[in-house]
Structure formats: C-alpha cells, structure tokens
Amino acid sequence: MSARTTHTLRSMSVTHGTGAARAALRTIVAPLLLVVALLGAWELYADLGSTSSFVLPAPHAVASALWENAGFLAANLAKTAEEVALGLLLALALGFALAVLVHLSSPLRRAVYPLAVGSQAIPIAVIAPLLVFWWGFGVLPKLAVIVLICFFPVLVTTVDALGAIDRDQLKLLRTLDASRWQAFRFAELPAALPAALSGARIALAIGVIGAYIAESQTATSGAHAGLGHEINADLTALQTPRAYAAAVVLFALAVACFYALALAERTLAPWAQRSRGETP
Amino acid sequence: MAPSHAREQAVCVREVERTFADRRGAHVQALAGVSLRAERGELLAVVGPSGCGKTTLLELICGLQAPQAGSLDCVPAVLMPQHDLLLPWLSAIDNAALALRIAHVPRSQARGRAAALFAELGLAGFEDSRPHELSGGMRQRVAFVRTLLSGKPLLCLDEPFGALDALTRAEMQEWLAQALAREPRTVALVTHDVEEAVLLADRVVVLSPRPGRVVEQLEVGLPRPRRRTDAAVVALRERALDALALGRSAAS
C-alpha cells in the first residue's frame, strides 16, 4: 500500500515538475521504442536466419535502397499520393452524397444499401479490364478502384450519424418552422460532417492498399507509374530491397494521410473532438 | 383565434384522447378525455406523475401530433424540450437566433436581436460561449431565449428545469418569472414539481397517472413575486399534492 503511494507520488512529480518538453518526449518515446525494437528483430532475423536477401532484405539494405533511389521513389510517390488523395476526396464526396440520399429516402435506402455492400465484394481483377477499356492507362481507372474501395466506410459512418440525431431536436426544429431542408442544413449536416471524416480515416487505411491494387490491375504507361506498379516490377526483377523501400514509403504515406485527416477533423469539427476524446 | 371572446383563448383543449401502440403492438392510452384552456398571457402549469401523458399533451398543442378524439384550438406554439438541445457547433447567440435564421433573417440582424434579449435577460457576456462551456442553468436560459425568438405567442415548456440540481432550479424559476415579466407570453409549463407549478403559474392543472385525465384545476391568483414559504403558496401546494394523491388512488 505504502509502496504504491510512493510510486504514484513520484510519477506525479515527474509530470508536474518537468513541463511540456518532457511530456512531448514521452508521447513519442513509446512509438519510437516499438519501431526500434521491431527493426532490431527484423535485422537480427535477416542477418542470422536462413532467408535469402531476395526474399527478405535486412533493414539496413532497405535503408540504403531508400537512400540511393530517393529521387525515383519520390517521383513514384507523387503519382501514388495523387491517386490516393484524389480518390479519397472523391470517395468522401460520393459516400457523403449517397448517405444523404439514403437517409432522406427509405426506398432509396432499401435500393442502394445492398448494392453498396455487395460492391465491396467485387474482386478488382474482374472489373479492371473494363475500367481500362473505358479510360485507358491514365489516372482515371485507378481513381475508380480507390473510390470503389473507399466510399463504403464513409457511407456507413455518415448514415449512422444522420440516424443518431435526437428526435426531439427535429421536433424542436419543426416547431421553429424549419423546413425539411433547413432541419438538414442546421442540424443534420453539421452532425454528419465529423462522422464522414472518421469514415474517411477508416477508408484511408484501405485506400493506400487500394492504390497498390489499382496500379497492379490497371497497367500504366510512362516512367513513373506509381509505387504499386514499381513494387511489382522490382519484385519480378529481384530488386527486393527497392520493393521494400517502396513499401516503407507507402507506409509513411498512409500514416501522413491519417494524421492529415485527423487534423482536418479537428479544424472543421472541433465540437466532435470533445465528445469523443483525443484522436490518436 | 377567437377574437370575439371577451378574453382571447390561447389554448382550448376539449376532450382530447391519444392512444399509442407500444413495441409489442398493445394499445397504451396516454390521454383520456383531457380538457383545459389558457387565456392569452396566462401561465398554465400541467402537473402529473411521470408517464401521465404530459409531453404528449404539449406535442398535441404544438401540432406535432394529432388527437384521435376531441379537438384542439391553439395559437401557434413553440416547444422547449426538457434537454436544451443546443447545437454544439453554434455559439450561444447563434443558438438563440436559430428561429430567426430559419425565418431567413440575415445573420447579423438575427444576432443583433438575440443580443438585445441576452442583455435584457442577464446573459450578456456569454454571447460567444459554446454550449459545452456553459452550465446546465445557463444552457436552459439560452434555450429559453431561442424559444422566445421564435416569435410565437405560445411557449410550451416541457420540464425545463427537470434536469437541474435543486439550487439551480430555484434560481431558474426566479429567472423565468422575471423573464416572463419582461417578455410576456402565454406559457404552457409541464412539470412534475408541484411547488414549481404553484410558484410560477396562474392556473395549475393536475393530471392523473396514465391514462392522463384532469383531476383538478387550481386558480392560483397570488401576487408576484411569490416565495415558496408564503402561507398561500404552501396551502395551494398541499391542495395540488392532495389532488395528485387522489388521482393516483383513483387510478389504482
């Protein structure tokens, strides 16, 4: 009992006495330690294990591939990041628009929802040739794939948020003589906005892998065809370290987009933050 | 509505019945032949135990529901629900001005009119606060200003202070009495607090447990401001409590 008390007091004095700098340090220490530990284990396994470097390159080899191919990777990243960002924006718009339609009309809900769910089961390889037939080797078929994969989480979170609005709120608005459109504009739309952005954050996690799938399935012409395309080419050419370096860049892209969306949510809908607590 | 009368009726409810189907499809009668009336400028309090159809009655008066039998003749009414339901993304003043924005009043003009009421009703300085920064009592005040600014002659207050602690509630009762003295309206106040009804109302209607019917109507007729310790207030409170007990024993 007394030992626990002392411990609590000490940890309290640490947080109080040292200020913001150490608090900030403490927030990055845990993720940093985890990354270092994972990299260390990977390095040991790659160096001491029996895997070939064509199958699993060591982190130092990936790091040097990253360094030597920085320009090449950056050019491909630009392509992929463009696809992810545009695709996500379009998915956000489409998911939100569909959610509003589904919310306002129950016949539409019955008609659209099963199709939306089913669309998530379509293997991209099945429709990829059609997308290429329509739009060729440019960015459009890739966007179509990313939008198809990403609109769904936005649709679901937004429909749920629109449905969760207090019925008394709508009664109150009716006695204030609000039209259906005004009830939507004053109460429902602002309530749905943060939900749509949360949906976009979920969508993002699958959106980056969606970009890889899109690039793999719909061939691209040109020197810098995107990271997904590059990874496939490198794996075929046994340039495994560079493929891994590209995967690391995709990893960073996903993390960066996630935090960008969290920031957008905090800026556009600060009220939603308070009810939900801190965003990671 | 009926300008030929000597004093205008703001609320006239005649033999109103309302029945709901519950989740299993069974019929639940909320109101069984309720009749009551309020004259323009009167504060009518409706007291009754939980679930006696008080909220249903207000929603009927506001035109949010229709009765299955009986008739209602009411001036345009606005609802103030028990929970303030302030919109978290709007400041206090924008919340208060909501009805004006709905009526297509330009934003600056709407805010100006709300600000005038804020100053008059002791809310000055809180214009730009967000709802989450306000106490429960302050939030109800803002919600009341929003109700006033609807411009409707009849305010339907559904347990406006039900969610507040006892001290804040007493403070809010006083505030409401002062606010209505400055901004006179016809008010239908639903409450389960008999004392609140006697302190604030011109007329108290006591409802029985479900299905709600009128057990007694008390004319208060006491000068304002009233204190809860005044002998006449205490006597009326006892009469209303007796009526409540009578309604309960008749129902069981």
- Statement to judge: residues A24 and A99 lie in one domain: no
Number of domains chain A contains: 2
Q: Is the pLDDT of residue A280 over 50?
A: no
pLDDT tens for A206-233 read: 899 989 988 888 876 666 788 988 998 8
Residue B140 included in any domain: yes
The answer to whether residue B2 sits within a structural domain is: no
In a domain, A14, yes or no: no
Separation CA A254–CA A205 (nearest Å): 7
Specify the 3-state DSSP secondary structure of B29: strand
Catalogue the long-range contacts made by B174-179 (C-beta closer than 8 Å, 24 or more residues apart).
B174/B225, B175/B121, B175/B122, B175/B141, B176/B144, B176/B200, B177/B224, B177/B225, B178/B121, B179/B121, B179/B144, B179/B148
In the prediction, which pLDDT does A275 show? 58
Rounded to 5°, the CA angle A251-A256-A261 comes to: 130
Say if residue A50's pLDDT is above 90. no
Residues of B in contact with A174 (CB under 8 A): 64
Same domain, yes or no: B146 and B157: no
Q: Mean pLDDT, to the nearest integer, of A4-25?
A: 57
What CATH code is carried by the domain that includes residue B234? 3.40.50.300
Q: Are residues B141 and B156 in the same domain?
A: no
> Can you give the pLDDT at residue B239?
92
Q: Are A231 and A138 in contact (CB under 8 A)?
A: no
Residues B187 and B221 in one domain: yes
**How far apart, in whole angstroms, are the C-alpha atoms of residue B174 and residue B200?**
9
What pLDDT is recorded for position B86? 95
- The pLDDT of residue B2: 44
Q: Are residues A157 and A233 in the same domain?
A: yes
* Rounded-to-integer distance, Cα B92 and Cα B46, Å: 29
Query: Which pLDDT belongs to residue B247?
Result: 81
Q: Read off the pLDDT of residues B125-158 as tens digits, 9 standing for 90 and up.
A: 999 999 999 999 999 999 999 999 999 999 999 9
| Closest residue of chain A to B130, computed from CA coordinates | A271
Are B242 and B173 in a shared domain?
yes
Q: Model confidence at B177, in pLDDT bands (50, 70, 90)?
A: very high
pLDDT confidence of residue A13: 44
Are A38 and A101 within one domain? no
Query: Average pLDDT, stretch B149-168?
Result: 92
Contact B83 A186 (CB under 8 A): no
The answer to whether B186 faces chain A, any CB pair under 8 Å, is no
B96: closest chain A residue by CA: A176
- The token duo for B225 is 């401001």
Residues A117 and A164 in one domain: yes
Closest C-alpha to A84, from A143, A124, A138, A140 = A143
Residue at a domain's end among B99, B117, B151: B151
Q: Decide if A4 is inside a domain.
A: no
pLDDT class for B102, splitting at 50, 70, 90? very high
Amino acid at B237: R
For residue range B5-48, what is the model confidence (pLDDT) as tens digits? Answer: 446 889 999 999 998 888 888 888 888 889 999 999 999 999 98
Give percent of chain A above pLDDT 70.
90
C-beta separation of A99 from A158 below 8 A: yes
- The mean pLDDT value for B178-204 works out to 92
| B7, B39 Cβ separation under 8 angstroms | yes
Indicate whether A16 pLDDT > 60: no
Answer yes or no: do A268 and A222 share one domain. yes
Tell me, yes or no, whether A7 lies in a domain: no
Question: Which residues of A lie inside 8 Å of B (Cβ-Cβ)?
Answer: 166, 168-169, 171-178, 182, 186-187, 190, 269, 271, 274-275
ipTM above 0.85? Answer: yes
Q: What's this model's pTM, rounded to 2 decimal places?
A: 0.81
Question: Are residues B129 and B237 located together in one domain of the fold?
Answer: no
Residue A13 within any structural domain of the chain: no
A36 within some domain? yes
How does DSSP classify residue B16?
Answer: E
Share of chain A above pLDDT 90, in %: 52
- Which positions ≥6 away from A170 have C-beta within 8 Å? A183, A187
For residue B81, tell me if it sits in a domain.
no
**Of residues A210, A209, A201, the one with CA closest to residue A256:** A201
pLDDT at A4: 46
Q: Which of A68-77, A269-278, B179-188 has the lowest mean pLDDT?
A: A269-278
For B191, the domain range is 9-76+152-251
Q: What is the mean pLDDT of residues A37-47?
A: 92
- B159 lies in the same domain as B218: yes
Mean pLDDT value across residues B197-225:
90
Structural domains in chain B (count):
2
Q: Is residue B95 part of a domain?
A: yes
Same domain as A80, residue A24: no
Give yes or no: residues A184 and A253 share one domain: yes
CB contact under 8 A, B85 and A177: no
> In this predicted structure, which of A60-64, A73-77, B242-246 has the lowest mean pLDDT?
B242-246
- Let me know whether A29 and A106 are in one domain: no
User: Do A91 and A224 belong to one domain?
Assistant: yes
> B 53-92 residues with CB below 8 A of A?
59, 62-64, 77-81, 83, 85, 87-89
Q: If pLDDT is split at 50, 70 and 90, which confidence band does A6 have?
A: very low
- Interchain pair A174, B81: CB under 8 A: no
In this structure, the answer to whether residues B95 and B204 fall within a common structural domain is no
Torsion of CA A120, A123, A124, A128, to 10 degrees: -130
Domain boundaries, position A270: 59-276
Which of B65, B102, B129, B148 is best to mutate for the A interface (most A CBs within 10 A)?
A: B102
Q: Does A252 lie in the same domain as A179?
A: yes
What is the pLDDT confidence band of residue B75, given thresholds at 50, 70 and 90?
A: very high
Task: Work out the minimum CA distance from B84 to partner chain A, whole angstroms.
Answer: 9
Q: Is residue B185 part of a domain?
A: yes
B53 and B113 co-located in one domain: no
Phi, psi of B39 (to 5 degrees): -85, 160
Across B175-204, average pLDDT: 92
Same domain, yes or no, for B162 and B43? yes
Average pLDDT, chain A: 86
Domain annotation covers residue A6: no
Q: Which residues of A touch B81 (CB under 8 A)?
A: 168, 171-172
Instruction: Decide which of B130, B151, B172 is a domain's last residue.
Output: B151
In a domain, B4, yes or no: no
Q: How confident is the model at residue A268 (pLDDT cuts 50, 70, 90)?
A: confident
Task: Calculate how close chain B gets to A198, using CA atoms only, in Å.
Answer: 17
B165 lies in the same domain as B51: yes
Q: Which residues pair with B207 in a beta bridge?
A: B214
A44 and A143 share one domain: no
Q: Is residue B72 part of a domain?
A: yes
Q: In CATH, what number is assigned to the domain containing residue A131?
A: 1.10.3720.10
Identify whether residues B101 and B173 lie together within a single domain: no
Domain boundary among B98, B126, B151: B151
Q: How high does pLDDT run on average in chain B?
A: 90
Judged against a pLDDT cut of 60, whether residue A2 lies above it is answered with no
**Res A11 pLDDT > 80:** no
| Residue in chain A nearest B62 by alpha carbon | A175
Residue B180 and residue B121 share a domain: no
Interval A36-40 mean pLDDT: 94
Task: Examine the domain organization and report whether A119 and A242 are in the same domain.
Answer: yes
Report the SS3 class of residue B204.
Answer: strand
Question: Closest Cα of chain A to B63: distance in Å?
Answer: 8
In a domain, A2, yes or no: no
Tokens at A162, concatenated? 């629109």
Residue A157 lies in a domain: yes
The whole-number average pLDDT for the span A155-177 is 92
